[in-house]
Each structure stands twice: as C-alpha cells, then as structure tokens.
Amino acid sequence: MKNSRVFKLIIPYLRMRLGVIIFLSLFSVIFAMILSLYNLPQEPIAYAAVLYINIGIIFIAMDFSRFLRHHKLLQELKTNIAIELDRLPEPRNLIERDYQDIIGNVHDKCLKIANKAEISHSNMMDYYTLWAHQIKTPIAAMHLVLQAEESEQNSELSMELFKIEQYVELVLQYLRVESMSSDLMLKKYSLDDIVKQAVRKYARMFIRKKIKLNFESLNCEVLTDEKWLVFVIEQILSNALKYTKEGSISIYMDKNAEKTLVIEDTGIGIKEEDLNRIFERGFTGYNGRWDKKSTGLGLYLCRQILGKLSHTISIESQVDKGTKVLIDLSTVELGVE
C-alpha cells in the first residue's frame, strides 16, 4: 500500500523536475556528440556515460527522498495547520519562502477573523440569553393579571401567552444546545414521571382543544437527563396539539422494541417527501405552509438533544391520518445509579 502511494508520486515529481531532466538530457547528447567528433576510444566514453548515469540516479534518488518527506509533512499539516503552522518544512529557495510568508499572513488574518467572530457570537449569545430570561418577568406578570378575573377572553389571552412562553423556552434551549454537554445530569428516572410533567404543562391546551389523551402506564426506567428529555417530549406534544384539530393523542411504549416511547396523534400528518427533511434546522415543509408561525426548530432541537443523550428519534406519518413519533431511550449502561 505504501509502495503504491510512492509510485503514484513519481509522475508528479518528474513533471516538477521536467526542465532539469530535459536540460541534463540535452547536455548529455551534446557532450556525446563532441566526444564522437574527436574519434576518442569508445571505452572511456562508455565509462564516462556509466559514471554520469550512476551519479544522476543517486542525485535523483536523494532529491526524490527529500520530495517525499516534504510532501508527507505537508499532508500531515493539512488538518491541523491552524495550530501547527510552525511545523512547515524549511524553505529551500526564495520562492518557497515567499509562499510560506503568504501562508503565514493568511493564517494570521484567519485567526483574527475567527477571534472576532467568536467574540461577536459570544456577545450575541449573552444578549439573547439575557433577553429570554428578562422577558419571563413580564410574561409571569401578565399571567397573574389574566388569572385575577375569569372570562373567555382572558382564557384565550392566557393560552396565547402560554404559546409565547413556549417560544421563549425554545429560544433558550436553542442557545444552550451547543454547550449542553456541560449541563447534563445523567441518572435513572421513571419515564412515567417525566412524561407526566410534560402532559401536565399542556393539560389546559388538551382541554381547550378537546383533544383526548390516551396514556398507558409506561413502567420503564431510563438513563437520561430529566430536564432535557422533558423539553423534548414537550416539543413533540406541542407539535401534536398544534396539528391535531380533533381526535386523540396516545402515549405508550412500543411493544416491538425495548424502551421505545411512542407519541401518536390523529392530526394532519406529514407528507412523505417531507419526512426525510423534518429534522433539518429551519425546514417547515407542508405543515409549515399550513401553519405560518412554524419555526422549523422544534424537531431539529429534539434530534440534537436526543443525540447528545445517546437516544434516537424517528417519525412515521401519513397525511390526514396522523403522526407517530418513536423515541428510542435505550442507552449503554454506565453503571449510573
């Protein structure tokens, strides 16, 4: 395998040294012609030719060896040049030094741009995180005002305020998901308790939309992070309620797979051509056109979060028949109690 790679480099090397090879070949021909014109004995001419060829082979072999070392080092630097620019091989001539100076200048500019972008991104994250936390205060105040007087209008406003609260929570989790690994607390939890937390949060919406909830006892313990898994189930329930005009939402364990939670609705469903893209960030598809307020972030976040928890998610759906979300909660046992 190694020899085959070396053989592949012979042609590029010969092309690089083509000018030198042509010059030496012409020099040899001219030298031989001059010697023949003087009618010198063939033996010293042959001896000189053999000596010339051997010296040429030794020179080419040494030069090719340096070429290989040079090429190997540059190949190694391809993936980590940003942090190991000082490992570039010593320039053998002024042109190589000029190229390395250009690479060094480009490298420095890239570092400055990257640092500037990182600072800008950090400032933006801090601002939106602060905004999301601060906006919770007026939302809580509005909830209290609406609860002070029972009326149909207040009830409707309270439901819309609840949706705003959910969008704020979506923003917060979107900001945190990249660094969620430092926020994980893996333990064994009762899946019933986790699901019931999410169901209680959406209880008023179930009642208001007159959607029936079919909940079977799950009797399952899972190794996970409670906060993040609750968020995922809330997102799936939110989608199910959003796209189900009438009928029911069922929550149960898949009898054909170990530790697979199923959340099934009788909503508008998802088009077959959209199923392969529903976990892409910002993709809304047919449902997004039906619901103009769809962000295309909910399912993207669900897959990202579940991936970091070593869980998986898949969706089966038919238009006008409903959607089935399957969350595989099995993980590698780490001895966590």
Angle between the 191-201 and 226-242 helix axes, to the nearest 10 degrees?
A: 50
Which residues, 6+ apart, have CB-to-CB distance to 87 below 8 Å?
Answer: 73, 76, 77
In DSSP terms, 200 is beta-bridged to: none
Distance, CA of 90 to CA of 153 (rounded, Å): 77
Instruction: State how beta strands 212-215 and 322-328 pair.
Output: unpaired
Q: What is the dihedral of CA 186, 189, 194, 197, to 10 degrees?
A: -100
Per-residue model confidence (pLDDT) at position 260? 92
Say what the pLDDT of residue 234 is.
93
Asked whether the predicted pLDDT for residue 292 surpasses 60, the reply is no
Cβ pair 317, 275 in contact under 8 A? yes
What's the longest Cα–Cα distance across the chain? 123
Beta strand pairing call for 248-253 and 212-215: parallel
The confidence score (pLDDT) of residue 191 equals 93
Average pLDDT estimate for 231-248: 91
Judge contact between 85 and 107, C-beta under 8 A. Answer: yes
- Computed over every residue of the chain, the mean pLDDT equals 82
pLDDT category of residue 288 using cuts at 50, 70 and 90: low
Residues 6 or more apart whose Cβ sits within 8 Å of residue 303: 279, 313
Cα(166)–Cα(306) distance, integer angstroms: 19
Within 148-258, residue ranges assigned H as helices are 152-176, 191-201, 203-209, 226-242
**Separation of alpha carbons 195 and 230, rounded Å:** 7
Is 88 a residue whose pLDDT tops 80? no
d(CA 282, CA 275): 14
Phi, psi at 12, each rounded to 5°: -60, -35
Give the pLDDT confidence score for residue 169 in this predicted structure: 87
DSSP letter for each residue of 144-174? HHHHTS--HHHHHHHHHHHHHHHHHHHHHHH
